Amino acid sequence: MVDVADKLAYFQAITGLEDPDLCTDILAAHGWDLELAISSFTSNNADPPPEEPIAGTSSTADTVSAIQPREASSQRPESVPNAVGPPGLAWKLVTLPISIISGSLGLVSGAIGLGLWAAGGVLSYSLGMIGLNSGSGRGGESSERLVPVSAAASEAMEFVAGFERDYGGRTRPNFVSEGFMDALQRSRNEFKLLFVYLHSPDHPDTPLFCERTLCSEVLAAFVNENFVAWGGSIRASEGFKMSNSLKASRYPFCAVVMAATNQRIALLQQVEGPTTLEELLTILQRVLEESAPVLVSARLDAEERRNNTRLREEQDAAYRAALEADQARERQRKEEQERLEREAAEAERKRKEEEEARERAEREAAEKEAALARIRQEKALSLGDEPEKGPNVTQVLVRFPTGARKERRFHSTATIQTVYDYVDSLGCLDVESYSLVSNFPRVVYGSEKLLLSLKEAGLHPQASLFVELNS
């Protein structure tokens, strides 16, 4: 049985609500029935079109929907009236474990996944092309496409037409009129990055950003030359799902992605909120420069594969096989010899480093132990003989974190520093930073009280102090 914490996490991931208290109240009101709570939430906030009901989004100021991300503290949340809501419960349950995690600007750490969603889109498109999209999936589940290709392409064409209508008199990026997965495949085939723009029509910063930044001649020419551009409205189904997958929190929203290995998608950069032409152009140039080696390598690999194929077809099969076999054996022999030499050199280097490190550590440990012993001895000598009981003698009990107890008598005129020296001379602590503390009331005898006498510090005629380790 799923426990309370798992139900709360599932509910937050599906509904997009970030406030745990609000989610807890909603689940509690439905008797912690996860499916009933989700159905009630989506149906109460739905604004479905006539033919295909789709759950709507909440416009409450205390909640954040997937289309209405939480803006920065200086910017009010965006309200999108009449927006196409998020997909239904079945889609959310399928895509729940799947997300894109923003990585660093480098490609290696940037490779993260839309995972199953990307794989599902590619597989559905491939099956649709050969007419096998009506089979059953694993475990008897339907393998029907998550987003039909025709629907995705239709939404893309509607976005391009609407963008052309609103900003048609200006130079603009050439957004492709196809779904996101098709655009991603196009960018892979053309050895380019995919520039993604999520359009929020009702956001106050959208018109100015589109007019002055996105539709500027410089930026449009740069994007058209170096990227495949895909845009989508967050009012549409695929645009809404991409805003959730990319975790868009502010608009206008742009991102640069590329197809990675194992049917995953690498998120290289995302730009959220109002951005000037110079800033966006600088970011895109930097991402392009950082990704250029990967794109060039992919292009060279593809060209090399084509050349090798053509060469194999032109040459005599037997001669080529014999020649390549001889070359492969010689190359393998040399590589094996070089590998063994490298391994031997590396092993020797590591052995010397480990030996030097061990000797250095032992030497340092011995020096440190000798220094500590010398310090303890010096402090023990500085304490002098323990005074006999009397009216001017203070009895001090010291308790250590290990439970050990040490007790000694000091002259009432002795300072707090003297007690610290006594604790140090015992050698009971492995740390150098600690404080002496008394309870009832709690008093920390720190560096500002080291020169106080025991009597001035209120520890006469007897006191119980605790050793508190400093973090």
Output the pLDDT for position 263.
62
Over residues 91-116, mean pLDDT: 36
- What CATH code is carried by the domain that includes residue 1? 1.10.8
Pair of tokens at residue 56:
């709507």
Pair of tokens at residue 205:
């910063």
297 and 397 assigned to the same domain: no
> The domain containing residue 248 runs over which residues?
151-314
How far is it, in rounded angstroms, from Cα 70 to Cα 62? 10
Assigned domain for 112 exists: no
Over residues 15-41, mean pLDDT: 80
Output the pLDDT for position 44.
57
Assigned domain for 181 exists: yes
299 and 399 assigned to the same domain: no
- Pick the range with the lowest mean pLDDT from 2-6, 302-306, 310-314, 329-333: 2-6
- Pick the range with the lowest mean pLDDT from 16-30, 103-117, 380-394, 441-455: 103-117
Assigned domain for 433 exists: yes
Helix (H) or strand (E) holding 149: helix 149-167
Output the pLDDT for position 83.
34
How many CB atoms are located within 10 Å of the residue 470 CB?
A: 9
Residues 218 and 277 sit within 8 Å (Cβ to Cβ): yes
Output the pLDDT for position 45.
52
280 and 162 assigned to the same domain: yes
398 and 309 assigned to the same domain: no
Model confidence, pTM = 0.40
401 and 302 assigned to the same domain: no
Over residues 203-232, mean pLDDT: 94
Q: Is the model's pLDDT at 50 over the cut of 90?
A: no
- Pick the range with the lowest mean pLDDT from 138-142, 189-193, 361-365, 398-402: 138-142
Q: pLDDT-derived band of residue 262, with 50, 70 and 90 as boundaries?
A: low
Q: Is the model's pLDDT at 40 over the cut of 90?
A: no
Over residues 421-425, mean pLDDT: 89
How far is it, in rounded angstroms, from Cα 92 to Cα 86? 9
- What CATH code is carried by the domain that includes residue 423? 3.10.20.90
Instruction: Quote the number of domains for the chain.
Output: 3
170 and 310 assigned to the same domain: yes
Task: Return the percent helix, strand and coil in the chain, to nearest 5.
Answer: 50, 15, 35
Q: Is the model's pLDDT at 110 over the cut of 60?
A: no
372-389 pLDDT per residue, tens = 888 888 888 888 888 999
Reduced to 3 states (helix: H, G, I; strand: E, B; else coil), residue 420 is helix
Which of 289, 314, 339 terminates a domain? The answer is 314
- 381 vs 194, which has greater pLDDT? 194
Helix (H) or strand (E) holding 99: none
Q: pLDDT-derived band of residue 68, with 50, 70 and 90 as boundaries?
A: very low
Distances (CA, A) of 417 to 205, 369, 371, 447: 64, 22, 20, 9
Output the pLDDT for position 57.
30
- 63 vs 200, which has greater pLDDT? 200
261 and 398 assigned to the same domain: no
Assigned domain for 135 exists: no
Residues 416 and 422 sit within 8 Å (Cβ to Cβ): no
- Give the residue among 155, 149, 157, 150 at the shortest CA–CA distance from 181: 149
Output the pLDDT for position 402.
87
169 and 286 assigned to the same domain: yes
Assigned domain for 358 exists: no
267 and 408 assigned to the same domain: no
Which of 265, 295, 314 terminates a domain? The answer is 314
Output the pLDDT for position 382.
83
- 41 vs 103, which has greater pLDDT? 41
Assigned domain for 236 exists: yes
Q: pLDDT-derived band of residue 220, with 50, 70 and 90 as boundaries?
A: very high
Over residues 212-228, mean pLDDT: 93
- What CATH code is carried by the domain that includes residue 156? 3.40.30.10
Output the pLDDT for position 9.
77
180 and 272 assigned to the same domain: yes
164 and 261 assigned to the same domain: yes
Q: Which class for 400: exposed (0-12), middle (13-18), buried (19 or more C-beta within 10 A)?
A: middle
Which of 314, 339, 354 terminates a domain? The answer is 314
Over residues 202-231, mean pLDDT: 93
Assigned domain for 2 exists: yes
Output the pLDDT for position 94.
36
Assigned domain for 246 exists: yes
162 and 310 assigned to the same domain: yes
Calculate the CA dihedral of residues 310, 316, 317, 322 and round it to 10 degrees.
-120
